[in-house]
């Protein structure tokens, strides 16, 4: 038995896991958690890959003098409903994961969104489709933060950034799978499933198809089988056991890991296990206490921008390229290239983050995003498929590199008792940005300022994204604190050094009011108020709603962040 774990020798869970190194169990969990994110990514992206056909089936296209007139806000909302469900799922699922365990929550989430994706295949109108997108999104939103948290708790410290970000590559792989699956299915000339997919539809380009898109949502029910397999293949993390007062189970799990990883028949004395003290309170409002407000500001602001831009652009890339003159099939192919590049960026970002640090990596990523979006705005044009493919590869790489660079910071910002709560609420709030983005960008695109002789000037619309990119760069400089290279137990111990008397309840209530205000202005009004985007007050009000969270964090976290960066407390 190793001297580290001999009788009388104290140890932490992180030390034990670090001593095992990368091993067979690591790769098993890598595959299991990666599959969860592939299914997650497919479930999200399939609506963006099929929205052209959904719009035709649901009556969102009308014809005036032989020209198609689309309901941009309603089409944008097809993406929004799933994202709103993800907001709710992340908020509730994160708390449940910290209470009932990572394994149970992941199984529940996968079964949930698999079951409720199935009815979407039978949708005849937007209300039915939206209802089940919302419900299924609850499971998807619960799943993603659990995967991130599990990776952070089972991977050796020096490899943590690589595996956390690589895990997100699996989610983007699900986006690519959605594109690769949907394109041949939706464009098939004949019905694949007889009368079930046999109804004729006419898309905005004037081409006629049948409703083969329904098969894509039948495929989306496969996570039910995967969730059942998890019951037998996945184990709870020793970090969760230890933090919940179950040191015996944590020690037993470490023993099992040691045996499976070839480290020998090592016994772990639970009485010698050091567990960082739990915070006095672990409710959601504590994320806004003086102890955590800067960390919360760092990940909430940057991930909000990333979600806004990634989900907004993925919703409108096919429309953008169809407006330029490309076919529906070529437009989806270009979107798929954008997502394929995202996989490459997700694979790359972790290695760079572990070597140059979380903060520097994130700051550089936003600069790359600005360069990429400017190039796309200038050079995207008709009859230049190869050039557009290169531009989509660049843009997909840059934008997804930035959003994934935030991922390691999420679990590293909070102790085990509230790690998944913190991660999930960050992702849930950021999805307000994603939920609003498809609608807001659609509203912006319909404004007179962005209209040209041939329709919407999408090159001008996408150039607007330079504003949130620049804002994210400022937030990264101000709020992000370096966490790379430290064990989870070291980070947890550091978080207990400051005064814990403040519960963060007041700023938490303020932020929830801001979130509600944002939802009303950027989601409810465009969907409920007729002609909202064409009203003079619409854009200023929506911009205000999107900027208020940043103002909030500059006020509540700015002074502490400035002291942290310039007062010697690094």
Q: What is the pLDDT of residues 238-293, one digit of tens each?
A: 989 998 889 999 999 998 888 877 666 677 888 888 887 776 666 788 889 988 89
The secondary structure of 486-510 as a DSSP string is --HHHHHHHTTSS------HHHHHH
Give me the half-sphere count of Cα atoms (radius 13 Å) on the Cβ side of residue 272: 14
Looking at residue 197, its pLDDT comes to 93
Neighbours of 318 (CB within 10 A): 24
pLDDT at 8: 60
What's the token pair of residue 161? 């950034």
Q: Span 436-441, mean pLDDT?
A: 77
* 570 has a pLDDT exceeding 50: no
The mean pLDDT of the chain is 84
pLDDT of residue 367 exceeding 80, the answer is: yes
Whether 497 has a pLDDT exceeding 70, the answer reads no
**488 touches 152 (CB < 8 A):** yes
Tokens 């009308």 sit on residue: 62
pLDDT value at residue 493: 66
3-state secondary structure 219-272: HCCCHHHHHHHHHHHCCCCHHHHHHCCCHHHHHHHHHHHHHHCCCCCCCCCHHH
Q: What mean pLDDT comes out for the span 405-417?
A: 84
Which positions ≥6 away from 283 have C-beta within 8 Å? Answer: 503
pLDDT of residue 26: 85
Tell me the percentage of the chain whose pLDDT exceeds 90: 29
Q: Which two tokens stand for residue 420?
A: 């998944």
With 90 as the cut, is the pLDDT of residue 501 above it? no
Between 285 and 447, the more confident residue is 285
**Listed residue (244, 296, 242) closest to 272, CA to CA:** 242
Instruction: State the pLDDT confidence band at 474, using cuts at 50, 70 and 90.
Output: very high
pLDDT at 317: 81
Q: Which of 189-193, 375-379, 440-444 has the highest mean pLDDT?
A: 189-193
pLDDT tier at 209, thresholds 50, 70, 90: very high
Q: Which residue has the tokens 């979407």?
A: 120
Mean of pLDDT values over 123-145: 89
Per-residue pLDDT band for 568 (boundaries 50, 70, 90) equals low
Element (H, E) at 166: helix 160-186
Average pLDDT over residues 502-526: 88
Which stretch, 5-19, 175-189, 337-351, 432-446, has highest mean pLDDT?
Answer: 175-189
* 26-40, 77-91, 495-509: range with lowest mean pLDDT: 495-509
Q: 325 — alpha (psi -120 to 50), left (phi > 0) or beta? A: left
177 vs 161: CA distance, rounded Å: 25
Q: Is 569's pLDDT higher than 50?
A: no
Residue 211's pLDDT is: 94
Task: Tell how far CA 119 is from the center of its chain.
Answer: 24
Would you place residue 1 in the very low, low, confident or very high pLDDT band (cuts 50, 70, 90)?
very low
**pTM reported for the whole predicted model:** 0.74
- The sign of the dihedral angle between the CA atoms of 505, 508, 510, 513 is negative
The per-residue pLDDT for 72 is 66
Find the mean pLDDT for residues 391-416: 87
Q: Each residue of 48-94: pLDDT tens digit?
A: 888 889 988 988 887 777 777 777 667 767 777 887 888 888 878 87
| 222 φ, ψ (degrees, to nearest 5) | -60, -30
């Amino acid at each position: 038995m190793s001297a580290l774990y001999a009788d009388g020798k104290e140890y932490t869970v992180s030390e034990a896991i670090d001593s095992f190194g990368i091993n067979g169990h690591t790769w098993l969990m890598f595959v299991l958690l990666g599959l969860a994110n592939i299914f997650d990514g497919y479930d999200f992206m399939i609506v963006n890959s099929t929205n052209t056909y959904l719009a035709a089936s649901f009556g969102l296209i009308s014809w005036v003098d032989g020209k198609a007139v689309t309901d941009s806000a309603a089409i944008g909302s097809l993406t929004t409903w799933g994202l709103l469900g993800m907001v709710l799922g992340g908020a509730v699922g994160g708390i449940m994961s910290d209470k009932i365990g990572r394994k149970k929550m992941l199984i529940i989430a996968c079964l949930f969104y698999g079951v409720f994706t199935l009815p979407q295949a039978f949708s005849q109108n937007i209300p039915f489709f939206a209802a089940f997108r919302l419900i299924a999104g609850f499971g998807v939103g619960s799943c993603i933060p659990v995967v991130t948290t599990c990776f952070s708790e089972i991977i050796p410290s020096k490899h943590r950034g690589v595996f956390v970000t690589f895990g997100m590559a699996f989610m983007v792989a699900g986006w690519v799978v959605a594109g690769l699956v949907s394109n041949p299915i939706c464009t098939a000339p004949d019905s694949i499933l007889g009368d079930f997919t046999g109804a004729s539809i006419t898309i905005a380009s004037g081409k006629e198809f049948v409703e083969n898109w329904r098969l894509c949502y039948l495929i989306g029910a496969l996570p039910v089988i995967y969730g059942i397999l998890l019951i037998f293949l996945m184990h709870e993390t020793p970090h969760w056991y230890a933090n919940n007062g179950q040191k015996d189970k944590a020690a037993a799990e470490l023993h099992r890991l040691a045996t499976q990883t070839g480290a020998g028949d090592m016994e772990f004395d639970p009485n010698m296990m050091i567990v960082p003290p739990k915070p006095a309170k672990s409710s959601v409002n504590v994320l806004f206490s003086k102890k955590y407000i800067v960390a919360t500001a760092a990940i909430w602001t940057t991930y909000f921008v990333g979600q806004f831009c990634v989900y907004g652009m993925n919703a409108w890339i096919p429309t953008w390229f169809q407006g330029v003159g490309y076919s529906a099939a070529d437009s989806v192919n270009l979107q798929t290239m954008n997502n394929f590049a995202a996989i490459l960026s997700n694979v790359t970002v972790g290695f760079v983050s572990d070597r140059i640090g979380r903060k520097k990596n994130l700051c550089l990523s936003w600069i790359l995003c600005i360069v990429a979006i400017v190039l796309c705005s200038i050079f995207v044009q008709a009859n230049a498929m190869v050039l557009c493919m290169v531009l989509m590869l660049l843009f997909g790489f840059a934008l997804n590199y930035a959003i994934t660079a935030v991922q390691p910071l999420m679990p590293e910002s909070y102790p085990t008792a509230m790690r998944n709560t913190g991660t999930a609420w960050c992702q849930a709030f950021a999805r307000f940005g994603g939920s609003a983005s498809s609608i807001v960008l659609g509203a912006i695109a319909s404004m007179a300022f962005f209209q040209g002789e041939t329709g919407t000037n999408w090159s001008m619309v996408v150039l607007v994204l330079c504003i949130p990119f620049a804002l994210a760069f400022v937030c990264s400089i101000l709020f992000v604190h370096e966490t790379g290279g430290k064990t989870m137990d070291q980070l947890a111990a550091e978080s207990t050094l400051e005064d814990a008397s403040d519960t963060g309840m007041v700023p938490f209530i303020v932020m929830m009011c801001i979130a509600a205000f944002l939802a009303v202005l950027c989601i409810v009004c465009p969907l409920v108020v007729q002609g909202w985007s064409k009203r003079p007050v619409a854009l200023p009000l929506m911009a205000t709603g999107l900027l208020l969270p940043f103002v909030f964090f500059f006020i509540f976290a700015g002074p502490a962040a400035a002291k942290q960066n310039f007062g010697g407390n690094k």
